[in-house]
């Protein structure tokens, strides 16, 4: 079994998570400001043919996907910070064992150990219906 994270390691991860939280808030703000940008509104207003309309739709879809990914990551960071506050940071949500520090260094928001995450991904992939 892995050793519990030291107080110093917990502070290191907290600082890392807080920095990422700040960065994501800035990125989300910037994405929202860009979506209000008059240039995109002008482009959408000047759409005259299906090709132009497709480009405008693609730009809108990309902005929405980017924002969605940023918001999901922000939520994961906030959840990790909450786990730090309640003392469960670094503990696998599925099996209750310690998450290896190497995994946390790679993915500070990890909620599962590598074995449980692999099992989760395998089971999730199996349960998602194919688009074919």
Q: What is the mean pLDDT of each run of 10 residues along the chain (132 residues)?
A: 80 97 93 66 56 58 83 96 96 96 96 96 76 52
CA gap 61, 114 in Å, rounded: 33
Q: What is the pLDDT of residue 131?
A: 52
Q: What is the pLDDT of residue 39?
A: 54
Does 2 fall in a domain?
no
CB atoms within 10 A of CB 104: 20
Does 113 fall in a domain?
yes
Which residues form the domain of 83? Answer: 7-127
Does 88 fall in a domain?
yes
The enclosing domain of 80 has a CATH number of: 1.20.120.910
Q: What is the pLDDT of residue 4?
A: 85
Does 123 fall in a domain?
yes
Q: What is the pLDDT of residue 121?
A: 93
CA gap 46, 61 in Å, rounded: 18
Q: What is the pLDDT of residue 130?
A: 55
Q: What is the pLDDT of residue 1?
A: 41
Does 1 fall in a domain?
no
Domains held by the chain: number: 1
Does 18 fall in a domain?
yes
**Helices and strands in the chain, H and E counts:** 5, 0
Does 27 fall in a domain?
yes
How many Å from the N-terminal Cα to the C-terminal Cα in the chain?
A: 43
Does 48 fall in a domain?
yes
Residues 6+ apart with CB under 8 A from 47: 53, 56
């Amino acid at each position: 079994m892995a050793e519990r994270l030291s107080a110093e390691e917990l502070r290191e991860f907290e600082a890392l998570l807080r920095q990422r939280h700040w960065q994501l808030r800035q990125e989300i703000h910037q994405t929202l400001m860009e979506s209000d940008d008059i240039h995109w509104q002008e482009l959408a207003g000047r759409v005259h043919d299906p090709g132009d309309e497709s480009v405008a739709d693609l730009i809108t879809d990309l902005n929405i996907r980017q924002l969605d990914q940023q918001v999901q990551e922000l939520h994961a960071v906030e959840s990790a910070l909450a786990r730090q506050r309640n003392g469960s940071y670094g503990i696998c949500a599925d099996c209750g064992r310690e998450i290896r520090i190497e995994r946390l260094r790679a993915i500070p928001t990890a909620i599962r150990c590598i074995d449980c995450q692999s099992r989760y991904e395998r089971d999730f992939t199996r349960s998602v219906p194919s688009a074919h």
